[in-house]
Structure formats: structure tokens, C-alpha cells
Structure 1
Amino acid sequence: MTFAILSTITAFIIAFGRQISVFSKVKRGLWFFSNFEFKRFVFFILSMTFGLLSLKTSSVSTGVFILLGLSVFFTLFSYFFDMKYFFPEISHVIHKSARDINVEDDTQIIGLTINQDAFAYPLNEVVIPRHIINDEIEGQKILISFCALCQSALAFRAEVANKKLYFKVAGVWRRNMIIIDNQTHSLWQQATGECIYGPLKGSQLPLLSGENTTYAEWKKQHPFTFFASECKEARQGFWTREKMNKLLHRVVHRVTMPGYSDLSELPEREIVFGIIFNGISRAYPQSALLHKRFFEDQFHNKSISLEYIPEAEYLYARDKITNQRIIIEKHWWLGWKEFHPETTIWKDNVSS
């Protein structure tokens, strides 16, 4: 009986170690996410070994069979609950000139510029259901990412210390997706681009422009853009992109994952536009911008000019002195606040 119990416990730990760590907010539990496939195999061998020993050393009883049955169930669950099949990352992208293809103007996209060239990726059709796009543009590794739980689409340069990285979805931590690189099995927080576990811990992926807007608005700003017209998954997933979109829509509005920040200042799923400028983090609630178009704000002794485009549901910002574009991140409040706990909230006619 002892070996049967050990078999069940071993299978349970690898099946639910990640989930328990997330909901109990135990940071040491990130160990389960890093190189999970190898650890799952080791635990599977251990569970099988304990199971075989129980059959050889114990008398066959109902209790033993129940425990071994649970071991099998937990092991199968660990193989089913594998993020790489829930969200198979995009590994190959073909870009075509906007002049050569027909894309609806109201298509939601994430856009970025590389060496003055503009690129757009469709959100609902590809980025949202697959969460990760690994791309290479003009010799630079690019990561396009989306977290359903906080509704943030962000673009990063996927290179650290001259090392080009390839990413997959690993799971969830602190109300936000965590991703893992193939090269070092390090874990990265999608909301910040920071490595939080593994050999590259403390490293930072450079954040790129990553504007979340409509294709029509993007083309106004970048008429000679390239569009990600073909995106191929690294493997076949459990669900098609269309079915995954429907599933996400049902789930994300009902589930709030554990985090460390108080969310009481705004509704959890209020869309906010986040800016980090001159040492200040500030959130602009979309609901407060509905009747705004052009306005200014102060970040200590520096001023910025802002423009809200209601038809594109996007906010632009520039430094008034240099006219340099300021990166704006679009999140749900629960995602922005979690990683910017000292953020201020913009209010009309109020600045600081």
C-alpha cells in the first residue's frame, strides 16, 4: 500500500504542481514550469516504478487498484494540460505588402516598426488564439505576444546578450501569462518582458512599439506597411484558432487569477492605456477618454501631448519637447496594476 500511495502522490504533484503554485502564490512553484516536459517524464517514471513495486510487494486490494487508477488519471491529465497544445506558438510568418493583399479596414492588429519599416499582425485571427508569434525581421528576432487574462498584446525584441530566443507559452503567474524560451528554459513575464526564473533571471526583453489599433488607422500612419498574411503553427493544437477564440471569450471574463496588487481603484476589466515616462507610471482609463481627442498631461516637469482615436480605440502620446513617440501599452486594469503597483490614474483636468 505504501508504494501505491507514493505512486499516486508523485503523479498528483506533477499534474497539479503548477496550478497549486499559481493559486497559492508560491514563487518556488515556478520550478514546475521550467523544462516541464522533462520533469513530467521523470515523475512519470517514478510514479510507474512505485506502482510496479506496489503490485509486487502488496496484496492486490481494492485500495491499491484505486490508488493506481488515480496515478494513471493524474499522469494522463498532466499530458493533456500542456500549454504547447492549448496555444501552439506561431513559428513561421510570411509578410506581404499591404498593396498586394486585401485586408478589412476594421481588422484589429498589433503593429510595430523595425528600421523604419512597418509590420502588422492580425489580433483576432492569429495573435489572440495562439498567444505567441516567433518572427524574424531584417535579421532581428521578434516576439509578438498576447495574454488573454489581462488582454495585453505586446511586442518585444527576442534577443538577450546576443542570444536569439524562441518562445512558447508556459502558463500563468500573477494574473499574466508566463512564457519559456527554448534555449535556456528560462521563464519570462509577458507583461514586463522580464525573466523571472532560470539562467537568464533578471534579463529584460526590449519592448517595441506594439500599437494595438485597427488596420485602417495603422495604414494612415504607415501606408507602406507589411502584413503577416500567413502564420504557421509549430504543431497542431487541441483547438482551431476559431474555437480557441470562442473558448477564451467565455473564460477570461469569468476568471480572475491571484495576484499581489489591490485592484479596487478601477473595475478589474477596465481597458487602460499605460505609459511609463520620466519615472512615472500612469494609466489612462478608456472610459475617461470617450469625449477627449487632443489633450496634454504633465509628468513632473515634462509635458506630453496625447491624442485619442475613438474609432481605433487607441491612444497616441509624444514628448512635447522632442516630439518623440512614447510607447503606450493597452491592458485591462488588473494586468497593468499588478506590475505597476505605484501607478497613478489620469483624470480629466487633473495632472501631477
Structure 2
Amino acid sequence: MHNESVPEVQNMYVKNTVSKSLAKPYLFWWGFAFLLLPGLVHAYLLMPFPGSQNLNAITVSYYLEKIVTPLRVFGGFLIVWYVIAGFTNDSRRGKIIKTSILVLGLGSFYFTDFKFQAERMFEEPQTIKFANFIHNSVPESTVIIGIVNNGVAKAYPLNYLGYHHKIQDNVGNQAVLVTYCTMCRSGRAYNPIINGIRQNFRLVGARHYNAIIEDEATKTWWYQANGKAAVGQLKGSQLQEIPYEQSTLAAWIDKHPGSLILQPDDHYLSDYNDLKNYDRVQAVDKDSTLKNKDSLMRKSWVLGLVINGQAKAYDWRKLLKKRFLNDSFNQTNLLLTLEKDSLTYHSFTTSVNGKVLHFNLDKSGQLTDLETASLWNWDGLSTSGALKGNRLSKVQSYQEYWHSWKYFHPNTLFWKDL
């Protein structure tokens, strides 16, 4: 009987040894790492934390988001395994340390999955409501992005767009995705129809200080500043851009008196107020230590254009002092001008009937061409003179931070009126 009991004792010994070896503390620490670190890294890469936005990590961010949940499940499994197999054998001090760390770690989910999750920090509007000018509550001095299509005009205030980052809407039966990123000062409007299907987009976070949005069908990530698919099924694709204008509401209504105007969503009034002066005060004006306000900084405003694939940026402060500029690049003659409100800008090509025109502002502040002395309004239409009835062609231009324009247009030319 003694000999028969030896194998049983040996088996029990082996089982206990294996059980203890599998229940060693490293199971807990590995489980804790898988449970916590992927979410923290993911949140770090998609939010503007120090150093995070300078990393070329959009592909890492994309695939990390896809595996965060499986990694957490695996980490939770390891921790449960440890608790079942080895927690009771741990010292009292070890139990307290591990329990405390686990509670703190689980508390971090509040930051990674709620507080710093982009689509919760900047929510979609709960109500999208428009009003005509008679019933409008938006101040006329507000800067807006305006879109016209099929006889319908709509205005979207920047401080509302800046908080929500995007408004998914229709203008004259055209589906539109109106976007704005406050970290880049970049407004864009896109056609949200991809492969014949209208897509809903969600805000993912930011890379290189620019908002990243994801379409619902393919889960592709798109840069807001240029509409390019950076990673995912449609990588390399381009969203179709819809022309828009940026101006004060007063200037927009002057040209489009029947325009509809996006009204504030009462759920987000405090968030809109946080952007109250965003549309008119530059970072250099807030910096009391900077003596030369014309210094080019990363958040200096520029006016950007792309002509036949070539980008060019214009120093906003220099342009503001001149109020108009006749320029030419990439075989295109241009007129850039600002209205009296110093916020509404326009860009036109200046060839009319095969003849290049050059412009000036007369004593009353009205546009006039030097060749025929015809008068022109701010919509590019000649209102009197030899060229009355002719219209200048508009060129899409963007007011943007210098750091953003330079990053997304690395070969850009730059004008600063030296």
C-alpha cells in the first residue's frame, strides 16, 4: 500500500508545483499591463499630449484601436487566473498593493474611455436647427463658413463648428460634411458620399494636431485638413471637396440675404462660449513677451491656396495691412483681398475675356480694376463700367495656422511682402 501511495503523492506534488508556478505574481503584472497600457498609449497618441502629435504614428494608432479590447480581455483573463490560483497565497502586503494598483488602473478607464475620448469630448449636435436672418440669434459679427448649392445658402458659425468639429447636413439636396479643426484653424467641406453611399463620420482624435475622422462603412481614417485617407481600407483615397467661403455673418448675409443660419444647440452653450474670441484674436496678440507681432509663429494665421497642385501661403498680418494683393504663381493671376471687417477674405483669378486685370481699392474702399476703371463687388461681379456684368472666378482659399499648412503642404511657397 505504501508503494501504491507514492505515485499519488508525486502527482499531488507536481500539481501543486505547477499550480503555484502558474500563479506567480508575474501573471498579475502581465495582466495589468495588457489591461491598462494599450488604452493609455492609444489615448496618448490620439490626444494633444506633450510630444504625442509629433510622432508619425497614425498607422500604429489605427491598429492599436482595433486590438485594445482583445488585449484588455486577455489581461483581465490573466488577472482572474492569478486571483483564482494564487491570490490567497500572496502576502497581506502583496494583496493590498495589487488590489490598490488594480483599482487605480481601472479608474484610468475614465480618462482613456471617457474624458479623453474625442467623440465624447466634442459631441455631435443633439439638434441641428436653422433660421433665416429675421429669426436668427447669431451675432452678425460671428465668423461663419458659408456654402451655396442649387440656390440654397447656409452659414455655419465657427464657434459651433469648432466645438463639434463636424456638422453632417444637406445644402440644396447636396449631402455635406462641414468640418473645422481648432488646432489647425482649418475649415473644410466635403462630400460624404463614398462609393455611392452616404457615410456617417465619427471623430476619432487627432494626429499632427489635425482632427481624424472615420467613416462608418470602411472604418478608414481621414485627415480633416486635406480629406485624404491616411490608413484603412481606402488609404490613399480623397474626399471630394465642396467649395465654401469664410466671412462674417454680416458680409455673408449681404451677398445671400435668404441664407439659412445654423442656430446654437442649447446643450452646448458653455462650450461655444469657450471659443468666443477664437475667430478674431491671434496667438501673437496674446503673447505679451513678443515685441515683434509680425514674427512668424507656428500659430500665425496664413491664407493658403493650391493652384494646379502648387501650394502657396500668404502672411495674414501682412495681407491685412495691404487689404488687397495682385499676385501670380503657377501661371495663374490672382487677386486676394479682405473686406473692411478685416475677417472676410476673397480669392479670385483675374483674367476676364482673355485679358489680365489688376486691381486697387478706390477712396471709398471699393474694388476697381486699373485697366478699365470698372467697379467690382465682393462677390467678384462688376457692377459698373466697361466690364459691367462680368464676373471673376473664385478660387478656394483657406485661413489656417502656419504649422498646419506647412505640414500638409510641405512644398508650399510663402509670401510675406518682404
Instruction: Name the TM tier (shorter chain).
Output: 0.7 to 0.9
Gaps of 5+ in 2: 1-24, 47-51, 285-294, 353-391
In 1, Cα distance between equivalents of 2:137 and 2:110: 44
User: What's 1:189 paired with?
Assistant: 223
In 2, Cα distance between equivalents of 1:312 and 1:205: 31
Kindly state the Cα deviation for residue 91 of structure 1 after the two structures are TM-superposed.
6.3
294 and 17 in structure 1: CA distance in 2 versus 1, 3 angstrom threshold: closer
Paired residue total: 328
Q: CA RMSD of the aligned region, Å?
A: 2.8
214 and 131 in structure 1: CA distance in 2 versus 1, 3 angstrom threshold: same
User: What's 2:32 paired with?
Assistant: 8
- Tell me, what secondary structure is at the counterpart of 1:291? helix
2:120 is equivalent to residue 85 of structure 1? yes
- Tell me, what secondary structure is at the counterpart of 1:90? coil
User: What's 1:340 paired with?
Assistant: 409
- From 336, 340, 360, the counterpart of 1:306: 336
Q: 1:79 is aligned with what amino acid? A: D
- Written as runs of structure 1 = structure 2, the 5 A alignment for 1:200-239 is 200-229=234-263, 231=265
Q: 1:137 is aligned with what amino acid? A: V
TM-score relative to the length of structure 1: 0.83
Instruction: Name which structure has the greater RCO, CA cutoff 8 Å, separation 6+.
Output: 1
Kindly state the Cα deviation for residue 32 of structure 1 after the two structures are TM-superposed.
4.8
User: What's 1:42 paired with?
Assistant: 70
- Tell me, what secondary structure is at the counterpart of 2:241? coil
Contact 1:90 1:134 in 2 (8 A): no
- From 69, 75, 81, the counterpart of 1:53: 81
Contact 1:7 1:48 in 2 (8 A): yes
91 and 324 in structure 1: CA distance in 2 versus 1, 3 angstrom threshold: farther
Kindly state the Cα deviation for residue 141 of structure 1 after the two structures are TM-superposed.
2.1
166 and 287 in structure 1: CA distance in 2 versus 1, 3 angstrom threshold: same
More off after superposition, 337-346 vs 222-231? 222-231
Contact 1:47 1:71 in 2 (8 A): no
69 and 3 in structure 1: CA distance in 2 versus 1, 3 angstrom threshold: farther
92 and 209 in structure 1: CA distance in 2 versus 1, 3 angstrom threshold: farther
In 2, Cα distance between equivalents of 1:90 and 1:201: 28
- Written as runs of structure 1 = structure 2, the 5 A alignment for 1:1-352 is 1-10=25-34, 11-20=36-45, 22-23=52-53, 24-32=55-63, 36=65, 39-58=67-86, 59-60=89-90, 61=94, 62-80=96-114, 81-90=116-125, 93-124=128-159, 126-229=160-263, 231=265, 240-242=270-272, 245=275, 266-321=296-351, 323-348=392-417
310 and 243 in structure 1: CA distance in 2 versus 1, 3 angstrom threshold: closer
Kindly state the Cα deviation for residue 189 of structure 1 after the two structures are TM-superposed.
0.2
In 1, Cα distance between equivalents of 2:211 and 2:68: 21
In 2, Cα distance between equivalents of 1:243 and 1:224: 27
In 2, Cα distance between equivalents of 1:76 and 1:307: 48
16 and 244 in structure 1: CA distance in 2 versus 1, 3 angstrom threshold: farther
Q: 2:31 is aligned with what amino acid? A: S
In 2, Cα distance between equivalents of 1:75 and 1:306: 49
Q: 1:289 is aligned with what amino acid? A: L
Kindly state the Cα deviation for residue 297 of structure 1 after the two structures are TM-superposed.
0.7
318 and 245 in structure 1: CA distance in 2 versus 1, 3 angstrom threshold: closer
CA shift digits 1:287-340 (9 cap, x unpaired):
111222333111132211222225142321111226211001111111111100
Gaps of 5+ in 1: 255-264
Aligned residues with identical type, % of pairs: 24
In 2, Cα distance between equivalents of 1:97 and 1:87: 26
Q: 2:243 is aligned with what amino acid? A: S
Contact 2:58 2:231 in 1 (8 A): no
Q: 1:225 is aligned with what amino acid? A: S
Kindly state the Cα deviation for residue 148 of structure 1 after the two structures are TM-superposed.
1.7
Kindly state the Cα deviation for residue 134 of structure 1 after the two structures are TM-superposed.
1.2
3 and 20 in structure 1: CA distance in 2 versus 1, 3 angstrom threshold: farther
User: What's 1:258 paired with?
Assistant: none
Kindly state the Cα deviation for residue 50 of structure 1 after the two structures are TM-superposed.
1.8
Kindly state the Cα deviation for residue 230 of structure 1 after the two structures are TM-superposed.
5.7
Contact 2:146 2:245 in 1 (8 A): yes
Contact 1:318 1:325 in 2 (8 A): yes
Contact 1:91 1:135 in 2 (8 A): no
- Tell me, what secondary structure is at the counterpart of 1:93? coil
User: What's 1:257 paired with?
Assistant: none
Kindly state the Cα deviation for residue 187 of structure 1 after the two structures are TM-superposed.
0.7
In 2, Cα distance between equivalents of 1:76 and 1:18: 11
197 and 231 in structure 1: CA distance in 2 versus 1, 3 angstrom threshold: farther
